[in-house]
Amino acid sequence: GTRIICDRKFLLECKNSPAARTPPCCLPQTLGVTSLAQSSLAKLEELKERNESEEAMPDQDQFEMDI
């Protein structure tokens, strides 16, 4: 077999090429793979809302102790 050997500099330059920045034109739309699924978007929104509500709540003790 034949090996194709690329040096580090060439590979780093390839990531900045215009072809590497655009997705292929004929890529199928697969939910959760090539595009975010609607449920994933809903979960992200829910997590954001939960984090915002937790930040708004005053600090509470992690454990309550009865003395």
In the chain, the amino acid numbered 51 is N
Query: CA-to-CA distance for 3 and 13, rounded, in angstroms?
Result: 20
Structure tokens at 34: 């090539």
Contact 31, 38 (CB under 8 A): yes
Contact 35, 29 (CB under 8 A): yes
* Domain ranges across the chain: 8-43
DSSP 8-state assignment for residue 32: T
Say how many residues make up the chain: 67
| Tens of pLDDT, residue by residue, the chain (67 residues) | 789 899 999 999 988 888 887 777 787 877 767 666 666 667 777 878 877 776 666 556 667 777 7
Structure tokens at 29: 């739309």
